[in-house]
Structure 1
């Protein structure tokens, strides 16, 4: 079954950035179509976010400096100014007044948390499960909004273009193929975690927005800057991996190696509260040298301070008293589709917000708990800017299936191969030889995928294509970029993190 529909604004993705863009456009009186792979809020990267959302409080200049310092002095100062100056009002308007997010309080005042590389406590949080407490009410609010129509369990297969302008997208769910024409289209598809063997991202993070945008000519930048979180639970099975929030170290937890030695003071003056790239490389190095690294939480009451994390540890039979085994895992892409201060890409009619966008805020390394804030601020800005334009119907690409569908094993095997290539070549440390060899392999894989995609249509095949395109962009950028922030070129690289 196939249908054709029109809307003022089409938003693809339902994390905090996509929801903020949809809300902002709807407030302007526009009709909004929100397309999401998720069937509920917890299936998004925002839904998985633990630590919280940073805000400016009364220290705008210092907050800006913390962001720039964490980025290894590569963040765009103008973009950072927008983030820190608009943070208080946007959080107050959307998260507090509109959604009534129950941020933790002490004595009727917000209980701001401390995280690595922040010079003061400025993190609003709800335990260690902030993301779901933001996104569940956000999703529900939009479901009840008369100007917003949500297509869940749906995938955008391809952007619709004519004369170098985007006019919407072709969308598919299990029963229906939809052509959705839009005045403007906003990509908010999240991250790239599925490109790596170990990631803190949900399985839907296949680089879709970056892949689709690149295929219609949108510029990307900073794709070398893939951030690894230093403290994921060191599970043998990637499906068992879970994040141990940076806030745990903010409350006093320390990292010890296999010799029971606290090692971070030897790597950075801020020890466990050093920028993420520093801590991730240190953890990787100590695991290689001593066999294991664990998080010692004995200095405070872990169970009462982080009950959600304590419950996860219990679920995985982790003896908290003996320490929580940790290892780095892919966490966040600092680069993405190039956008301006209102989320506009280099292609007319196309916007990008959230992790798939490169605003310049993060530079070569992201400061903790600024990801949700960036998504919120740029989502609101993009929704406002994209509103007020009517859709134009144009000729659409042919995505009909002519040949028999490929077996699931084909896409599964290719995804696994991409993970092996990217994990080996674009890990915590990289070599130019590995990156160049990876590009050759990835081009061959993309050629295979393109040949099949010409005559077959399926969510998994188009996700695979986007993953291959995004993997190529990462490895190419990494081979051409000098070491800075979370991108480190070496003579001999550490292997991909193994749990």
Structure 2
């Protein structure tokens, strides 16, 4: 048993921002950060675009950013949340700068602001095309200066500890007391008893297989919260990034940033036709849901596996300066953007729903908080505006911190039973896990993708039930492995996406069901 004041699960921008703030405020309180891979491995690390913040008051305004966010969210944003997050942006950016994060500046020494799909003005602060990587670097550097923060890398959170795990504990309020943790290096499972637990576990992209997310994005926090009976909302709103580099094998895809289209790139079909003006007057700068659905329509009409992003008309030297990582990655794939079009296809990118939280980051379970992509705050509504995600993580991590900064860290006297794996064996048939994983990902791509139908969703539920029962049986009889736990979590997440998709009777933002179209 390990005791801590704050247990933070996840080491991206949300988890680390909270950890730094609370550790600075209370040097005598203990913070433990649990992360299942290297400490710097997170969705944050792969965020290319930047942080959307209103800085140029002459051309831009909070009002404009709020309006852009509400338009992207297609009527389902919580307007008070949108106003809160956007108005807090400049303050949170200043903190990142104080912690040592570097962002690109122009010749006059001001921030070199980018413009992305759905934005009416240039307002995206960035560091080349590796903004998330730079933010993660700065946060970890600050974390390592604070002696009361411990990072447990290669530790996997299996399940949250709640009333259900405790004997003779009677309470009408459902509470969280920490989590069961699997040390992936030793195989040991132990308990971290925490006065407060924060889920900052990122996204769910690997549920679809074809994703811009890293392999760690398996929806662990959402699945744990769901099993603990927390409220989960808006899971049907999965955002597909329109332009992932097409890979024949279809695994995790390299992201061609939205900012490339903001820079002036054109989308073309195989015949060379620039098709986006046919679908939306904003053309390539339409919001992601529209661009993804337009590409999906083009692919269905042509039968081709991808469309193209044409950068050949752009200033290549300026492109290389703005997007060195993208330029070099294309060269590695023998694509010279000066003369070649980039093959692109939509890929699972971002989840707009998740664990329901209030403005303080509180979930519906006592002592359990959440922030970042695993949450549903109401900011994104039915579709996220580009580069609003890092902003949301910063603001909500601060909100959770602000709430705790005025509270005592009160320990509980509950006795938590040890993890019981009596009678289980090491799973010899690892092939079963991989087989079910591939089946699950194909199911989600084919039945629960960009364009859905009630018939496909109902078929998906039937197929998912078969996978669920097989994996649950394997879970009960096997000793814990990370791959088995991740698969179990992805099945829970898939169930939530499908069920909440069936419940939605109106197409909004990133959700499109052919049966909801009025004929």
Using the size of structure 2 for normalisation, the TM-score is 0.91
- Is 1:166 the equivalent of 2:176? yes
Q: Secondary structure at the residue paired with 1:439? A: helix
Which is further off, 219-228 or 388-397? 388-397
- Is 1:225 the equivalent of 2:237? yes
Query: 1: distance between equivalents of 2:371 and 2:23?
Result: 17
Contact 1:430 1:489 in 2 (8 A): yes
Hey, what does 2:336 align to over in structure 1?
A: 319
Which is further off, 288-297 or 113-122? 288-297
The 5 Å alignment of 1:288-307 reads: 288-290=300-302, 291=304, 292-300=306-314, 301=316, 302-307=319-324
Q: Secondary structure at the residue paired with 2:435? A: helix
Query: 2: distance between equivalents of 1:118 and 1:234?
Result: 26
Q: 2:79 aligns with which of 55, 77, 92?
A: 77
Superimposed CA distance per residue, residues 354-387 of structure 1 (whole angstroms, 9 cap, x where no aligned partner): 1110000000000000011111111121133245
Structure 2 unaligned segments of length 5 or more: list them: 164-170
Q: Secondary structure at the residue paired with 1:167? A: strand
Alignment: residue pair count: 488
- Cα distance, 1:386–1:69 mapped onto 2, change above 3 Å: same
Contact 1:426 1:475 in 2 (8 A): yes
Hey, what does 2:364 align to over in structure 1?
A: 346
Hey, what does 1:31 align to over in structure 2?
A: 30
Superimposed CA distance per residue, residues 23-49 of structure 1 (whole angstroms, 9 cap, x where no aligned partner): 2221231311000112141x2111001
Query: 1: distance between equivalents of 2:321 and 2:100?
Result: 26
The 5 Å alignment of 1:28-177 reads: 28-29=25-26, 30-41=29-40, 43-57=41-55, 58=57, 59-93=61-95, 95-162=96-163, 163=171, 164-173=174-183, 174-175=185-186, 176-177=188-189
Deviation, structure 1 residue 70: 0.7
The 5 Å alignment of 1:198-237 reads: 198-237=210-249
Q: 2:411 aligns with which of 391, 395, 417?
A: 391
Query: 2: distance between equivalents of 1:238 and 1:77?
Result: 38
Which is further off, 385-394 or 453-462? 385-394
Contact 2:212 2:252 in 1 (8 A): no
- Cα distance, 1:304–1:470 mapped onto 2, change above 3 Å: same
Hey, what does 2:488 align to over in structure 1?
A: 465
Contact 2:190 2:418 in 1 (8 A): no
The 5 Å alignment of 1:183-194 reads: 183-194=195-206
Query: 1: distance between equivalents of 2:372 and 2:447?
Result: 25
Hey, what does 1:425 align to over in structure 2?
A: 447
Query: 2: distance between equivalents of 1:168 and 1:102?
Result: 37
Superimposed CA distance per residue, residues 46-79 of structure 1 (whole angstroms, 9 cap, x where no aligned partner): 1001011111223111100100001112111011
Hey, what does 1:413 align to over in structure 2?
A: 435
Q: Secondary structure at the residue paired with 2:4? A: strand
Which is further off, 379-388 or 16-25? 379-388
Structure 1 unaligned segments of length 5 or more: list them: 494-499
Q: CA RMSD in A?
A: 1.7
Which is further off, 471-480 or 27-36? 27-36
Contact 1:143 1:150 in 2 (8 A): no
- Cα distance, 1:157–1:464 mapped onto 2, change above 3 Å: same
Deviation, structure 1 residue 397: 6.0
Deviation, structure 1 residue 458: 2.1
Superimposed CA distance per residue, residues 125-147 of structure 1 (whole angstroms, 9 cap, x where no aligned partner): 01111110110121222123111
Hey, what does 1:7 align to over in structure 2?
A: 4
Superimposed CA distance per residue, residues 272-326 of structure 1 (whole angstroms, 9 cap, x where no aligned partner): 0001000011112112323341111123223333111100001111132121111
Query: 1: distance between equivalents of 2:297 and 2:331?
Result: 28
Query: 1: distance between equivalents of 2:327 and 2:105?
Result: 18
Q: Secondary structure at the residue paired with 2:514? A: coil
Deviation, structure 1 residue 459: 1.9
Superimposed CA distance per residue, residues 102-126 of structure 1 (whole angstroms, 9 cap, x where no aligned partner): 4444321100001011000000001
Contact 1:16 1:376 in 2 (8 A): yes
Deviation, structure 1 residue 405: 1.6
Q: 2:279 aligns with which of 253, 261, 267?
A: 267
Deviation, structure 1 residue 491: 4.9
Query: 1: distance between equivalents of 2:252 and 2:209?
Result: 12
- Is 1:382 the equivalent of 2:400? yes
Hey, what does 1:496 align to over in structure 2?
A: none
Query: 2: distance between equivalents of 1:65 and 1:111?
Result: 22
- Cα distance, 1:411–1:391 mapped onto 2, change above 3 Å: farther
Query: 2: distance between equivalents of 1:224 and 1:76?
Result: 17
Query: 1: distance between equivalents of 2:340 and 2:101?
Result: 38
Query: 2: distance between equivalents of 1:234 and 1:308?
Result: 16
Q: 1:332 aligns with which of 350, 358, 370?
A: 350
Contact 1:399 1:457 in 2 (8 A): no
Contact 1:104 1:125 in 2 (8 A): no
Superimposed CA distance per residue, residues 174-197 of structure 1 (whole angstroms, 9 cap, x where no aligned partner): 213221111110001111111002
Q: Secondary structure at the residue paired with 2:150? A: strand
Deviation, structure 1 residue 352: 1.1
Contact 2:292 2:450 in 1 (8 A): yes
Hey, what does 2:168 align to over in structure 1?
A: none
Deviation, structure 1 residue 240: 6.2
